[in-house]
Every structure is written in structure tokens, then in C-alpha cells.
Amino acid sequence: GENVEQHPSTLSVQEGDSAVIKCTYSDSASNYFPWYKQELGKRPQLIIDIRSNVGEKKDQRIAVTLNKTAKHFSLHITETQPEDSAVYFCAANHFGNEKLTFGTGTRLTIIP
Amino acid sequence: GAVVSQHPSRVICKSGTSVKIECRSLDFQATTMFWYRQFPKQSLMLMATSNEGSKATYEQGVEKDKFLINHASLTLSTLTVTSAHPEDSSFYICSADQGNTIYFGEGSWLTVV
């Protein structure tokens, strides 16, 4: 089955700086890679996703890059703000198969 | 967007009792729903796939007789934790797909005392 690794497990960033979280996956058939933000005790919120037919996607301060050859994808948050503090999870699956394999999570702390 | 709702959001039960958690798709039909478990400070781990009108598919290591899943309609899946033990205390969350987007329920905190 799919195995998703995520690094780092914790990340502290000064407000206004950029944050980068990286994930690798094992199943070359995976073709859908969402990123979720989860606040304590709440459901994961989809913040951005990418499908394997593109290498990069951007939405305002958030961007995701995908390297299919190396089987890794990254989340980039620019101009970080205190409200970006949360736990972020990457995930992978086959498009059309709703079963997600999650990474281990990154606790992001934005330092005011 | 599509909404998936879970109930209850929090439940406390005594050891040895059973507790049922409901997952509903409010404005769409879902032939398949997924149940995840999340222990504190850990990731979401898939427990089982709930299939409308047929048996659930369990992930390796998940006891099907302990975590009973019923998907009797296209908008409702239930997870029953039977003979609950303190180690079953966790955050349980369901998901469903609509329009190629995965939606999560609000999650249910289970505390077994």
C-alpha cells in the first residue's frame, strides 16, 4: 500500500517568513495530493491540492509543488501570519479512490 | 460545498459499553464513506471503508467485531465501538467524496472511562 512520509514534524517560523513542509510517497500510481490544515479538535480543512498532471499550483500565499519522478511534493506558505499556526497534513491517493493515506503531520508555529 | 456531519461531537462512556457515532452526508449521496481514527498528536489513520448496502472493508489490524460499521442508506454510515476500553479513547472522523473532493465530518471525541 501507499506510505507517506512528512517532514519536519515541528516547524517554527517568524511571522512574515516562509514555511516549507515536504512529503514523499511510495506508490507511483498515486496521482492526487491534497494538503490539510487541522486545528486542535477540529476536522481537517483542505487548503490546496495538486494532481499529477501538473508540477505546481498556487493559491495566494499557498503553493504546492510536485516532483513525480522523485515522488515528493511540498507545501509552501509565504508571508506567514499567526493564524497559519496549526497542524498540517499531506496525503496521497489514486484519483477516483477516496481512500487517503496521510503523512504524519507538521505542527507549524508562527512566532509573532 | 458539500457537507458531512457527525454526531455526537463528544461522548463519554463507561468501559465495557458500546457507543455509536453517526456520519451523514447532508446534501449528497455517498455510496462510500471512510472512517479514520486520530490519537492525540498523531495523524489520521484509516480504519475502514463503509460501503452502502454491503460489508465494510477494514484496514489491517482493525478488529471488525469491535468496530461495527453499518451503511444502511446513501446518506448515513454508523460506527459502533463495542465493549469500549480506555485505549479506544480517540478522535473518530469520517469522510465522503463528492465531485472528486473529499469532505470530512466534524469529528467525534470519544472518552472511555
pLDDT of residue B29: 92
Cell of B83: 465493549
Nearest chain B residue to A50 by CA: give it.
B101
pLDDT of residue B102: 86
pLDDT of residue A99: 81
pLDDT of residue B72: 84
Distance CA B72, CA A101 (A): 26
pLDDT of residue B99: 76
Instruction: Determine contact, residues A73/A50, Cβ cutoff 8 Å.
Output: yes
Which residue among A43, A101, A102 sits closest to B107, beta carbon to beta carbon? A43
Task: Provide, as residue numbers in chain A, all residues whose Cβ is less than 8 Å from the Cβ of B45.
Answer: 102
Question: Coil, strand or helix: which one is A40?
Answer: coil
- DSSP-derived letter for residue B88 is G
| Mean pLDDT, chain B, whole residue set | 93
What are the φ and ψ backbone dihedral angles of A12, each rounded to 5 degrees? -115, 130
pLDDT per residue over B11-55, tens digit each? Answer: 999 999 999 999 999 989 999 999 999 999 899 999 999 999 899
Instruction: Determine contact, residues A64/A83, Cβ cutoff 8 Å.
Output: no
How wide is the angle at C-alpha B45 spanned by C-alphas B40 and B51, nearest 5°? Answer: 135
pLDDT of residue B1: 62
The letter for the amino acid at A57 is K
Which residue among A96, A98, A102 sits closest to B44, beta carbon to beta carbon? A102
Distance CA A78, CA A15 (A): 10
Task: Provide, as residue numbers in chain A, all residues whose Cβ is less than 8 Å from the Cβ of B49.
Answer: 99
End-to-end CA distance of chain B: 37
| CB atoms near residue A33 (< 10 Å) | 27
- pLDDT means per 10 residues, chain A with 112 residues, are 93 98 94 93 92 92 96 97 96 78 95 94
